[in-house]
Structure 1
Amino acid sequence: MNHFIEFWPILKRLIEYTIPWKKKIILAFFLLISGSTAEVLGPILISYFINNILSKHEFHFQLTLVILISFVMLQILAVFFNYFQSIYFNKIAVRVINKLRNDVMNSAIKQPIFEFDVQPVGQIISKVTNDTEVIKELYDTVIPTLSRSITLIIIILFAMFSLEWHMAIIATFIIPLVIIIMSIYQHYSTPLLRNVRYYLADINNKFNEIINGMNVIQQFRQEHRFEKNIKNSSQLHYSARMKILKLDGFLLRPLLSLISSLVLCSFIFSFSCLTHKIPEIGILYAFITYLGRLNEPLISITIQQSILQQAIVAGERIFSLIDSKKQEYGKNKKKIKTGKINIKNLTFSYIKNQKNILNNINIDIPSKSFVAFVGHTGSGKSTLANLLMGHYPIYNGQIYLDEYPISSISHDILRETILIVQQDPIILADTFFSNITLGKKISEDEIWKILKIVNLFSLVKSMPKGLYSILGEEGNTLSAGQKQLLSIARILAKNPKILILDEATANIDSETEKLIQKTLTSIKQKTTLIVIAHRLSTIVDADFIVVLDKGKIVELGTHKKLLEIKGYYSKMYNFQLCKY
C-alpha cells in the first residue's frame, strides 16, 4: 500500500496524458468489456448443453444447433471486439508517447546550459528513447490488459455466483492471496527495476562517449580498457535483470498456478462432500473452465505489475527532467537598438560559495567597437563570453545591453541581439541552406550574397546540388576553416547587434584566417565585435584589448599602448612572435 501511495502521483500524471483522447479510450473500453463478456458467456452455453441435453441423453437438433451457432458467434464477436480494442489502445499509446517525447525534448532543450556541464548526454538520450518506450507499454499493454483482466474477473465471478454460490466463495479465496503475492513482489522488485533503468542509461552514456571519442580511443590504444568498461556495465545490467527474472519466475506464474491448483482441488473436494445437493455436471464443467480463465487474468495482472513498475520508474526519470529548472530569461521584449555593453562589478563562480572564476570585472564597450579579450587558459575569457550570451545566472554585479540588465531581457530579444561563433562550430547533418538559415525565412539570393562575403561561394557552386548539398554528420565533408566560415555565414543571416568570436581562428590555417579577417572587416561596420583570441596577430586592430589573468583585468588598452607598457600583454605578444 505504501508503494502504491508513493507511485500514485506519477501514475496519475501518466494517465492524465490520455485525456485528449478520452472519447477513443471510452470506445476502446466498451469494445474490451464487450469482448470479455462474449468470452465468458461461452461456458454458460456449454454448461446448459451438458445439463439439459447431454446428461439427459435427449437430442434436440434445433436447440443444439442454436447453442452451437450462438457459441461460435460469441467466439467470433470476442475476437472482433478484442482485435479492435487492441488497435485503439495501440493508436492512443503511440500518440501519447509522441506527446510525452515532445515534452521531454522541449524540457531538455530548455535546460540551463550549466546542466549539460554535469549531466551526461547519454542519460538524457536514454530518457527520451528507452524510458519513453517503457512507458509506451503502460498505454498499449498494461492499461488494456489490466482492464480486460479485471473485467474478466468480475464477469467470471458474477457467472460463478449465478451458477453455484458455495463453490464461487471458494474461488474468491484466490484473490486476497494474489494481492499478498503482488505486494511482496512490488516490495522486492522496485529497487531492482530502478537499478535496471540506471544501468541501461549508464550503458547508453558510455556508448555515446566511446563513439564521440573514437579517434582518441584508437590513437592511444584504449580499446581494451573501454571494452572492459562497457562489459562491466553490461554485467551489472545483466545481473539486475536476472534478479528480476528470478523474482518473476518464483512469485508470478508458478506460485499462482499452484494456488489455482489448490482451489481446483477444493472444488473437487467440495463436489464430493455435497452429498445432499450434488451440483450438476455442467456446472462443474463451467467452474473448471472459469477457474482456468480466472487463473489467466490473475497471472496477467501480476505480470503487468512488473511492467507497470518499470513504467513508473521510467516516469520518475522522465518527470525529473520535465520538472527540472529551465533556463531563465527576462520579460523585457524591447528591441536592443545598439550594441553597447556595460559590465559592472561582475564577480562569478560556476558553483555558489566556490572559488570565483571572475573577480570585479568592469568594462564599458561602445556600440560598433572591436574589443578583444586575451589571457592564458583559465583566465576567464570564455566564462565572460558565456555570461554575455546569458547562459549562466549572474548573482554578483551586472551586465547591461543598451542600459537594460541582461537578466531582464527576453530570450527572443537576447538571441536576436547577441550571437557567438565558437572554436568548434556545430554543423547540422543537413544542407548548406538549412545550416545557414536555421529556420529563418531568407531567399536564396540573399544566401548567395552571404556566401560571397564569407568566400564560400565557389565551394557551394561546385557541389552537385549547390545550396541543397548535404554536409554529412557534423559537417564532416568540410574542413575546419570552411566550418568556421559557414558559422559566420549564419551570423550574417541573423545580423546581430553584438558578435562574439570565441577563439574562432584557433584551429585554422593562416590563409583561412585572412579570409575570416576580411569578413570581420565588413561585419565591424554595423556590429559590436568581441574577439577572444590566442593568436594575438588577429587583434592588433582592436579598439581596445582586455587582458585577463586568474579572473581579473590586469591590463586594458590598444595594442600599441599595451606594447609600450611592456607588461603582461607585451610578454604574450613577443613570445608568440618568437614562436612563429
Structure 2
Amino acid sequence: MENKAVNKAVLVRLLRYALNDKKKLAIAIGLLFAGALADVSGPWLIQHFIDNYIAKDNYPIEAIAMLAAAYIGLMIIGAGLKYAQSIRFNTIAIGVVQTVRKQLFGKVLNQPLSAFDYMPTGKLISRITNDTESIKDFYVFVIATVLKNVTLISVMLVVMSFLSWRLTIIVLILLPIVIFIMVIYQRKSANAYRKMRDLLADINASMSESIQGMSLIQLMRQERAFSEQFSSLTNNHLRAQVGVMKLNGLLLRPLIDLLSGIALISLVALFGVSGVELIGVGVLYAFISYLGRVTEPLIEMTQQLSLLQQALVASERIFALIDAKQQDYGDDEQAIQLGELQCKNVSFSYDGEQTVLNNIDIHLHHRGFLALVGHTGSGKSTLASLMMGFYPASQGEILVDKRLLTDLHKTVFRDGIAMVQQDPHILSDTVRENIQLGRNVTDVVIWDALDKVGLAAQIRQYSDGLDTLFGSGEANLSAGQKQLLALARVLVAKPKILILDEATANIDSGTEKKIQLALNVLRQDMSIVVIAHRLSTIMDADEIVVLHRGDITERGTHQQLLTEKGHYWQMYQLQQASEHLHQLEEETIVTI
C-alpha cells in the first residue's frame, strides 16, 4: 500500500461494502435528511416568534400555542429520527464487519502455508479482530457523522441564506478554514495512527507467542526478558498514543473554537453596524444558534478523522491479506486411482538463494513403500511438504498418476494425498470431532481406524467414549497418542498416498509394531511415504532414499544399503548401539 495520508483506493473500496444493500443505505440517508430538517426548524420557529411577536409586543395565545406545540413536536420527531437512523447505520456497520471478517478468514484459510512462515499468530488474530472492529467504527461513527453533519450544515446554510445573506457570508468564510485544518490534521496523523496500529499488532503477537511458549519461557528462566520486551512494546504504544493526543489537542477543538469565537464577534459587530432595520433580533438569535450548530458538527467531523485514519490503516492491512495470493490448484477433477508418485529433477529453495533440495528423482509405485532418511536439515520434511503441495517446486516437476501435481483439483488433491505430521494439532473438542473434522464419517469407521492404530482401547476406557472432550482432565493424550489420533484421522478418508512425517517418533516399541502391522494392511490399497529417524520402522520399505544436505546420496533396500556401508549403515549402527545401551540400562534397573 502507498504511504499516503488518505489512500483513496482503500477508502473507495471500503465504501463499496455499504453499497451492497443500497435500499437500507438509502433509507438511513433519508432518515438523516429528515432529522436535519427537524433540527434546523427549531431556531427558525424561535426567530419567527421573536421578530413577529416579541418585537411587536403582540402575544396571541392561539398562535403562540401552535408555535410551542410545533417546536416540541419537532424536537420529539427529531429525536425519533436520530434513533431510527442510528439503528440503521449500526445494522449496516455490523453487516459490513461480518462480511469483511468472513471474507478475510476465508482468504486466510486458503493461503499457501508459506504465507504463515513469516507472520506471527498474534498479528494475524489482530487483523481479524481489532482491525475489523475499526471498520465497524468507521461505519457507525465516521460515515454516519459525516452524512448527518454535511446534511445538517447544508440545510442550515440554505435557511440562513433566506434569513440574511450578509450574516451567511461570515459563516461561509469559516468553512474553508476549518476544511484546511482538517486536511492538515489528516496528513499529520496518518503515520502516527499507522504506527500505533502496528505496535498494537506487535503487542498481540508478543502475548500470543509468550502464552504458547510459556513452558519454554519458564524452563529457560526468561520471564524477566519477555516481560521487559512486552513492557517496551507497550511503552512505545503509549508514546504513539500520547503523540496522537497532542495532535488532537492542538488541531481539533481549540482552533475551531477560536474560529467560532471570531465568527460570533463578527456577527455581533455586523448587527451593531447594520442595526435592527436590516437584521432583526430574531434573525441574529437564529444565526448565533445556527453558528453553534455549524461549528459543533465541524468539530465532531474533525474529531472523527482519528477514527477514519484508524479505519484506513486497518483496511490497508485487511485488504493486503484479502488480496494476497491464494493456494493454487488445478482443474483436473479425475480422482487419484493408483497413488503413483514421481519427483523429476526437483529442486527447491525457500528464499531463492540457499538450495534446500537439489535435483531429486524419486519414483513411488502403486502400493509402494518409500522411506526418506537423513540427518536433521537434510531436506526430508521439505520434500514431504512439496509432495503435499504446501510449496511449489523451484525447478522440476512432481507427478501423481503421471499427472502434474499442480494440475489436480483441490478436492482430488486433498482426498487423494494425506499427511500425518510429527506434531499434529488436536482440537479442544470431542474424540469424534477430532477425527471427523466436519466430514461425514460414521462411528463404525472411526472405531475401525482407532483399532488399526492401536488407540481404540484407550478411548474405550473413557466413560463418554467418542464424546469425550480432550483437555477436560480425563482425556489428556501423550505426544505419541496424539500422533496415533492424527493417523486415525487420516485413515478414515482412505487416501491413495499417505505421507508420515516422523509420525512414529514419540511412540513406544509396542505401539510401533501395531503401526507397522497397520501400514502393511494399508499398503494393500495405498502408497506410503515414511520419513523416519527410527530405522526400525522402515526396514520393510521397497526403497530407502538417504538425503544429505538436499542431495540423494544413497538409495536401495535396507539390506542393500547395509552392504554398501555408507551413511545409512552408520546411522543404523548408531541406533543399534543406542538401543543396546538402553536395554542394558533397563536390565540393570530390574536387577537392582
Alignment of 1:187-336 (within 5 A): 187-275=187-275, 277-336=277-336
User: Which amino acid in the other structure matches residue 401 of structure 1?
Assistant: V
Q: Is the 8 A contact 2:449 2:492 kept in 1?
A: yes
Q: 1:347: which partner in 2?
A: 347
Letter of the structure 2 residue corresponding to residue 229 of structure 1: Q
Give the letter for the 2:578 counterpart.
K
Q: What one-letter code is carried by the residue in structure 1 that aligns with 2:336?
A: I
Correspondence for 2:511: 512
Equivalent residue number for residue 440 of structure 1: 439
Written as runs of structure 1 = structure 2, the 5 A alignment for 1:353-392 is: 354-392=353-391
Identity across aligned pairs (percent)? 44
Which secondary structure does the structure 2 equivalent of 1:37 belong to?
helix
Q: Does 1:486 align with 2:485?
A: yes
- Give 1:460's aligned residue: 459
Task: Name the CA shift for 1:503/1:474 in 2 (closer, same or farther; >3 Å).
Answer: farther
- Measured in 1, the distance between the counterparts of 2:205 and 2:237 equals 14
Structure 1 residues 475 and 464 mapped into 2: Cα distance closer, same or farther (>3 Å)?
A: closer
| Cα offset, 1:460, TM superposition | 2.6
1:561 is displaced (CA, Å) by 1.3
Taking the aligned partners of 1:103 and 1:301, their CA distance within structure 2 comes to: 30
Separation in 1, partners of 2:408, 2:281 = 82
Q: Distance in 2 between matches of 1:3 and 1:452?
A: 58
CA gap 1:112/1:3 in 2 versus in 1, 3 angstroms: closer
Aligned to 1:542: 541
Paired with 2:544 and 2:231, the residues of 1 have a C-alpha distance of: 51
Q: Secondary structure at the match of 2:427?
A: coil
1:92 paired residue number: 92
Matches of 2:78 and 2:443 in 1, distance apart? 60
Q: Distance in 2 between matches of 1:181 and 1:76?
A: 35
Conserved 8 A contact 2:468-2:475: no
- Matched with 1:11 is 11
- What is the DSSP-based 3-state SS (H/G/I as helix, E as strand, rest coil) of the residue aligned with 2:113? coil
Deviations along 1:384-416, one digit per CA (max 9) or x if unpaired, are: 100100111123111111000112112211111
Matched, 1:405 2:434: no
Quote the offset at 1:6 in angstroms: 5.2
Alpha-carbon separation, structure 2, partners of 1:149 and 1:53: 31
Would you say the 8 A contact 2:562–2:569 is kept in 1?
yes
What are structure 1's unaligned runs of at least 5 residues? none
Q: In the alignment, residue 262 of structure 2 is paired with which amino acid?
A: L
Is the 1:428–1:475 Cα contact (8 Å) retained in structure 2? Answer: no
What's 2:571 paired with? Answer: 572
Matches of 2:397 and 2:151 in 1, distance apart?
A: 63
How much does 1:4 deviate?
A: 8.1
Alignment partners' CA distance in 2, 1:332 and 1:109: 22
- The AA in structure 1 aligned to 2:430 is T
Deviation at 1:519, TM superposition (A): 2.5
Structure 1 residues 540 and 549, CA gap change in structure 2 (3 angstroms): same
1:43 and 2:53 equivalent? no
Report how far residue 496 of structure 1 moved.
Answer: 0.3
Please, which moves more after superposition, 478-487 or 220-229?
478-487
Counterpart Cα distance in 1 of 2:474 and 2:155: 62
* Aligned residue number for residue 553 of structure 1: 552
Secondary structure in 2 matching 1:172: helix
Runs of 4+ aligned residues of structure 1 deviating over 6 Å after TM superposition are: 2-5, 473-476
| Distance change (3 Å), C-alpha of 1:123 and 1:289 | same
Letter in 2 for 1:560: Q
Change (3 A) 1:564 1:335: same
TM-score after normalising by structure 1? 0.97
**Counterparts of 1:400 and 1:139, CA distance in 2:** 50
Instruction: Describe the SS at the equivalent of 2:477.
Output: coil
The answer to whether the 8 Å contact 1:332/1:409 transfers is yes
CA pair 4-269 structure 1, distance change in 2 beyond 3 A: farther
Q: CA 1:117–1:294 in 2, change beyond 3 Å: closer, same or farther?
A: same
Please say if residues 454 and 488 of structure 1, whose CA atoms lie closer than 8 Å, have aligned partners that are also in contact: yes
* Partners of 1:347 and 1:568 in 2: CA distance: 22
Contact 1:427–1:475 (Cα < 8 Å) also in 2:
no
CA RMSD of aligned residues (A): 1.7
Counterpart AA for 1:511: G
Q: How do residues 149-168 of structure 1 correspond to structure 2 at under 5 angstroms?
A: 149-168=149-168
**Structure 1 residues 254-312: Cα deviation after superposition (integer angstroms, max 9, x where no partner):** 11111101100001111111148342211111111111111111011111122111111
Alignment of 1:101-112 (within 5 A): 101-112=101-112
CA shift for structure 1 position 336? 1.2
CA distance in 2, matches of 1:337, 1:52: 94
Separation in 2 of the partners of 1:274 and 1:86? 42
Distance in 2 separating the partners of 1:508 and 1:285? 87
Partner of 2:179: 179
Whole-angstrom distance in 2 between the partners of 1:355 and 1:196: 36
Distance 1:444 1:316, change over 3 A: same
Say which SS state the counterpart of residue 76 (structure 1) adopts. Answer: helix
Residue in structure 2 matched with residue 119 of structure 1 by the alignment = 119
Distance 1:302 1:19 in 2: 24
Distance change >3 Å, CA 394–CA 95, structure 1 → 2: same
What is the 5 A alignment of 1:494-509? 494-509=493-508
Is the contact made by 1:543 and 1:558 (CA closer than 8 Å) also made in structure 2? yes
For 1:388, the aligned partner's letter is M
Deviation at residue 127 of structure 1 after TM alignment: 1.0
Say whether the 8 Å CA contact 1:3–1:187 is kept in structure 2.
no
Choose 106-115 or 210-219, whichever is displaced more. 106-115
TM-score (norm 2): 0.95
How far off its partner does 1:479 sit? Answer: 1.4
- Structure 1 residue 507, shift from structure 2 partner: 2.3
SS in 1 for 2:79: helix
**C-alpha distance after superposition, 1:311-348 (max 9, x if no partner):** 11111111111111111122211111111111111111
Task: State the secondary structure of the residue aligned to 1:18.
Answer: helix
- Alignment partner of 2:117: what SS? helix
Read off the aligned partner of 1:510 and give its amino acid letter: S
AA partner of residue 439 (structure 1): G
The answer to which of 404-413 and 494-503 deviates more is: 404-413
**Matches of 2:475 and 2:188, distance apart in 1:** 49
2:6 and 2:190 in contact (8 A); partners too: no
Instruction: Kindly state the Cα deviation for residue 162 of structure 1 after the two structures are TM-superposed.
Output: 1.1
Q: Distance in 2 between matches of 1:513 and 1:46?
A: 91
Corresponding residue number in structure 2 for 1:128: 128
Q: Which whole-Å CA distance do the structure 2 matches of 1:129 and 1:310 have between them?
A: 14
TM-aligned CA deviation for residue 369 of structure 1: 1.2
| Alpha-carbon distance, 1:57 to partner | 2.5
Query: How many angstroms apart in 1 are the aligned matches of 2:144 and 2:436?
Result: 46
Q: Summarize deviations over 1:210-268 as a string: whole Å, max 9, x none.
A: 01100000111101100100111111111111111110111001111111011000011
- Higher alpha-carbon deviation: 437-446 or 31-40: 437-446
* Cα distance in 2, alignment partners of residues 436 and 66 from structure 1: 74
Q: What is the letter of the counterpart of residue 320 of structure 1?
A: A
Task: Note if contact 1:373-1:381 (Cα within 8 Å) is conserved in structure 2.
Answer: yes
Unaligned runs of 5+ in 2: 580-592
Separation in 1, partners of 2:412, 2:425: 22
Aligned residues: 578
Distance (whole Å) between structure 2 residues aligned to residue 475 and residue 141 of structure 1: 49
Q: Deviations over 1:330-383 (max 9, x none)?
A: 22111111111111111111122x121111111111111111100000111001
Deviates more, 1:520-529 or 1:447-456: 447-456
SS of equivalent to 2:469:
coil
1:33 is aligned to 33
Give the drift of 1:517: 2.5
Residues 444-469 of structure 1, C-alpha deviations (whole Å, 9 max, x = no match): 22222222222332333333332222
